[in-house]
Structure 1
Amino acid sequence: MRTRKDWDEEDVRVRPGKRSRPRTKIRPKHEDAVDGFVMAVDRGRYTCRVEDRDVTAMRARELGRRGVVVGDHVKLVGDLTGKKDTLARIVKVQPRRGQLRRYADDDATSAERILVANVDQLVVVSSLVDPPLRYGFIDRCLVAALDAGVQPVLSLTKCDLDSEGVAAVEAYYADLNPIIVTSRPEEPVDSVRDVLRDKVSVLIGHSGVGKSTLVNRLVPGADRTTAAVRTIGKGSHTSTSAVALELPAGGWVIDTPGVRSFGLAHVTADSLIEAFPELMEVAEDCPRGCVHTLEVGECALDEDIGPDDSRRGRLESYRRMLASVSAAETRY
């Protein structure tokens, strides 16, 4: 008779753990999944418009590490009633277009952040005063818009405080010719509303320029938090996350938190000049291989654009971005 002392490894039956069980290669096809539009993202929960109701959802495990952002068109399964305490699952993210990306810096190793997806227009909101208009920031946003293949729009706020500011901005961007709209507190925002109608538009700008105030005027009942400018030239962060709001006349407007910088690590030095058409036309006369910097000495940009030329400001802005992007490309 055998005892326990006589047992060996062949007599022991080991139950495989859960992680060692073979996984099936057959994945659900989710043929019953329905279309949804991501309106907001909050700590792993996604508010999606499904037909005529808003549904709260989470990402399905099969999506892996792929992120979901405001503006995404997705496929959902699960409880789609939109009732309180119900939860659906996002099982697929549709191919994107009009994807707006921003980096912390021009360095390619800095963190990339996809702000929104599937937008038709990038609306750069800038106040003429308090905080003052910053051409360098606007130029960077316009470069990002053209790189993403979306229509750039420049929305100027607080125009009642600077009667000559609008004309100066129009002259500065005369060759680029973006859509420019203005808003004053005492006037309706019909011009802005007409530009946004039937489009998906994302608003971006520094804190305190009036993005949330503009959204509240465009979408009655939006109740986006607003705050006064704390000190001269510095605004308060009021919006903490991007959110898409449906416009009464058709279309969507996406309000985003205020930003202080707009890194362009995804834009190459060769493609940067395409956002400066007035300079690109002149650069065609440059010697072969010209990199358009001051050190070159024979750059046609310097020969054609003098210190008093109206294009001089754009040239200096282009060269600042060129130096930053080129330096990042050289390092990495």
Structure 2
Amino acid sequence: MSSGNSGLVIAAYGRRGRLETAAGKALPFLLRGRRLRVVCGDRVQWEAQSHGHTAIVTAVEPRRNSLARTDPASGRQEILAANVDCICVVVAAEPAPDWFVADRFLVAAAAMAARPLLISNKQDLPSADDPAYAAELAAYMRAGYDLLRVSAHDVASLQPLLSALDARQAMLVGQSGVGKSSLINALVPGADQATRALSRGREGRHATTASIMHRLAGGARLIDSPGVRDFLPAIGHEVEIQSGFPEIAAHAGQCRFRDCRHLHEPGCAVREAAATGEIWPRRYESYRRLLRQQQAAGAR
């Protein structure tokens, strides 16, 4: 192996991880220097050690985008993944959907110019036909989001998802219990064994909660990030939050004041649309709640 090689980070934890070479070979790596930081999805430059089969990452190539979260306690930002083309937000009728979790990831997708894709899993369960759940999904489709209905136990239902990803680099997210792991195992035979092998390997104990990238049939890559909890998107300005709610952005131009924040201002078309149900009230509440959280984090 020669120096100056390009690679793709497929797992990262601390100063170690694994990368995929241009030839498709997976190698463990170490970071050179204390300041270098990488995340899953990064394109990096690496060179071989003088002995052994561990790569030394020497540089990170410029990122197209990054998924980052804000620590509500400290206000600090943490990058979770890079170069993401699609954010796949998984929901299900069981457990009861926490739509605020979904909304936060959908806003993040808009802020990073990634495609948002809503995936309703567990379609094989009777609860998937619950009228209230169907109405909630319909509200997202009215807002302009693409929706796929799948079941990890029905291979045929996964084909539209594979087609939608189409060689893209995607990230799978969602609240606990919606079946993300089952989906990964259905899409990537052997993924569970690969994750266990990684955690047993020399990379260390942090591998059990590391983001891991899997290659899917057709060339797509899917990042599984089990460590994403209490996600608060790293948003630079309130306008990005408004833009992350397409139905709110569509009504914002009709407000009396151009700088309307859609909270308490008179003549607010967004509040009027939420009151009449044209905007799903729960989505409007997610907007207000996210705005409050971002303000609180920014004040720290």
The TM-score with structure 2 as length reference comes to 0.84
Is this contact kept in 2: 1:102–1:115, CA < 8 A?
yes
User: Is the 8 Å Cα contact of residues 152 and 178 (structure 1) preserved in structure 2?
Assistant: yes
Structure 2 letter corresponding to 1:138: A
Q: 2:134 aligns with which of 151, 156, 167?
A: 167
Question: What amino acid is the match of 2:75?
Answer: S
Give 1:36 shift: 0.6
Give the letter aligned to residue 120 of structure 1.
D
Change (3 A) 1:258 1:205: farther
> Is 1:70–1:117's contact at 8 Å kept on the other side of the alignment?
yes
Q: Note if 1:38 corresponds to 2:3.
A: no
Give the aligned partner of residue 133 of structure 1. 97
Structure 2, unpaired ranges of 5+: 196-206
**Is 1:102 aligned to residue 69 of structure 2?**
yes
Question: Residue by residue, what CA displacement relative to the aligned partner does 1:268-291 show, whole Å, maximum 9, x if unpaired?
Answer: 212211112222222212233322
- Identify the residue that residue 18 of structure 2 maps to in structure 1: 47
Instruction: Name the structure 2 match of 1:153.
Output: 117
Task: Output one character per residue of 1:162-193: Cα deviation in whole Å (capped at 9) or x when no partner.
Answer: 21466324321134322211222542121222
CA shift at 1:224, angstroms? 5.8
Which amino acid is the alignment partner of residue 287 of structure 1? R
Indicate the structure (1 or 2) with the bigger Cα radius of gyration. Answer: 1
Instruction: State TM-score, norm by structure 1.
Output: 0.77
Task: Tell me by how many angstroms 1:128 deviates.
Answer: 1.7
Mapped to 2, the partners of 1:173 and 1:225 lie a distance apart of 35
Partner of 2:58: 91
Structure 1 or 2: more helix by fraction: 2
Aligned residue type for 1:119? V
Could you report, residue by residue, the CA deviation over 1:196-242 in whole angstroms, capped at 9, with x for unpaired residues? 2311111112222211110110011112699xxxxxxxxxxx96111
CA change 1:91–1:177 in 2 (3 A) is same
- Does residue 48 of structure 2 align to residue 78 of structure 1? yes
Mark the CA change 1:209 to 1:258 in structure 2 (over 3 Å): closer, same or farther: farther
Q: Are the counterparts in 1 of residues 106 and 244 from structure 2 also a CA contact under 8 Å? A: yes
Distance 1:58 1:212, change over 3 A: same
SS at match of 1:223: helix
Return the structure number with greater relative CO, CA threshold 8 A, min gap 6: 2
Amino acid at match of 1:184: S
Q: How does 1:1-332 map to 2 (within 5 A)?
A: 32-50=3-21, 51-61=23-33, 64-79=34-49, 86-105=53-72, 109-130=74-95, 132-159=96-123, 160=125, 161-164=127-130, 167-188=134-155, 189-223=158-192, 240-288=209-257, 289-294=259-264, 296-329=265-298, 331=299
Segments of structure 1 that go 5 or more residues without pairing to the other structure are: 1-30, 227-237
Q: Separation in 1 of the partners of 2:56 and 2:13?
A: 15
Kept after mapping to 2: 8 A contact 1:123/1:202: yes
**Aligned equivalents of 2:112, 2:28: Cα separation in 1:** 29
Letter in 1 for 2:4: A
**Amino-acid identity (%):** 31
Matched residues, number: 281
Answer whether contact 1:212 1:225 (CA < 8 A) is retained: no
1:162 aligned counterpart, secondary structure: helix
- SS of residue in 2 equivalent to 1:39: strand
Distance (Å, rounded) in 1 between the aligned partners of 2:271 and 2:287: 13
Task: Measure, in 2, the Cα distance between the counterparts of 1:141 and 1:37.
Answer: 24
Aligned-residue CA RMSD in angstroms?
2.6
Instruction: Report the counterpart of residue 24 of structure 1 in structure 2.
Output: none
Question: Shift of the alpha carbon at 1:140?
Answer: 0.7
Check whether the contact 1:216–1:224 (CA below 8 A) recurs between aligned residues.
no
Corresponding residue SS for 2:164:
helix
In the alignment, the residues of structure 1 paired with residue 235 and residue 279 of structure 2 have an alpha-carbon distance, to the nearest angstrom, of: 29
Q: Tell whether the 8 Å contact from 1:55 to 1:80 is kept in structure 2 after alignment.
A: no
What displacement does 1:306 show?
2.1
Give CA-to-partner distance per residue, 1:27-71, whole Å, 9 cap, x none. xxxx9411111111244222111113111111112xx41311111
Number of the residue aligned with 1:25? none
SS at match of 2:285: helix
- Answer whether contact 2:12 2:40 (CA < 8 A) is retained: yes
**Which residue is equivalent to 1:26?**
none
CA distance in 2, matches of 1:247, 1:128: 26
Letter in 1 for 2:30: M
* Structure 1 contact 80–87 (Cα < 8 Å) conserved: no
